[in-house]
């Protein structure tokens, strides 16, 4: 396992990810008030958040991966300058300004963590999952990445190296998973349907065609 640190001495931007901003605090207070008055259902709010975490938000990243799978020139651009390549598809914004794409290979699996807080490419992957911010994931992903992946439901062969990338306030990562076999002739839209949020963090694999039939 190789753990690549890219933290500078100045982590001034990190605290914004780890604490409520004024607006977030106001939203949280309003949600609590409305819940107490019986005007909103917390379960419905959770369902909406889950939709944006796992379905709507990650569609941007899925489109990036699908294009990289089907367009070799774009894949090379993504490797060389992920920020520009991703922006060319219209996906840029808060916490996604500086990006690096790391490509899985049969010999090396990439995995992303933020050990200091929860730096995450919102513009590409949507809302960060709760577990991504949890201290247990942030520490164990570095110490025992293979064990963490097993807890997410899959095991890598012993010969496959795991490389852990540490996100910072200055640089965020997108994992490009291996393209599933049996997808020759798939359109970019069909390929995007195979790309999950977890696959783009490195805690999962791309779906195979049978999974979506």
Domains of the chain and any CATH numbers: 2-6+18-212 (3.90.330.10)
> Span 53-61, mean pLDDT?
74
Q: What is the pLDDT of residue 86?
A: 95
Mean pLDDT of the chain: 84
pLDDT band of residue 190 (cuts 50, 70, 90) is very high
pLDDT band of residue 10 (cuts 50, 70, 90) is very low
Active site residues: 114, 117-119
> Span 133-156, mean pLDDT?
95
Q: What is the pLDDT of residue 1?
A: 40
**Residue bearing the bigger pLDDT, 142 or 18:** 142
pTM score of the predicted model: 0.76
pLDDT exceeds cutoff 50 at 16: no
pLDDT exceeds cutoff 80 at 97: no
CB atoms within 10 A of CB 128: 20
Pick the range with the lowest mean pLDDT from 75-89, 91-105, 163-177. Answer: 91-105
Q: What is the pLDDT of residue 117?
A: 84
Task: Give the residues across from 102 on adjacent strands.
Answer: 175
Are residues 197 and 54 in contact, defined by beta-carbon separation less than 8 angstroms? Answer: yes
Q: What is the pLDDT of residue 13?
A: 42
**Residue bearing the bigger pLDDT, 7 or 82:** 82
């Amino acid at each position: 396992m190789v753990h690549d640190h890219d933290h500078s001495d100045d982590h001034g931007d990190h605290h914004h990810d780890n604490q409520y901003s004024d607006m977030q605090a106001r939203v949280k207070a309003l949600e609590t008030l409305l819940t107490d008055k019986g005007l909103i259902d917390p379960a419905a709010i959770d369902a909406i958040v889950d939709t944006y975490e796992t379905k709507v938000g990650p569609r941007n990243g899925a489109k990036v991966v699908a294009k990289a799978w089907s367009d070799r020139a774009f894949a090379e651009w993504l490797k060389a300058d992920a920020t520009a390549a991703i922006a060319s598809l219209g996906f840029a914004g808060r916490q996604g300004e500086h990006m690096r794409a790391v490509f899985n290979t049969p010999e090396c699996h990439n995995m992303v963590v933020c050990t200091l807080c929860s730096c995450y490419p919102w513009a590409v992957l949507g809302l960060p999952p709760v577990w991504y911010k949890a201290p247990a994931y942030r520490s164990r992903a570095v110490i025992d990445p293979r064990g963490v992946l097993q807890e997410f439901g899959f095991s890598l062969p012993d010969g496959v190296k795991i490389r852990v990338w540490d996100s910072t306030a200055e640089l965020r990562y997108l994992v490009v998973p291996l393209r599933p076999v049996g997808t020759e002739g798939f359109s970019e839209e069909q390929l995007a349907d195979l790309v999950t949020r977890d696959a783009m963090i490195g805690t999962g694999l791309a779906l195979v065609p049978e999974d979506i039939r």
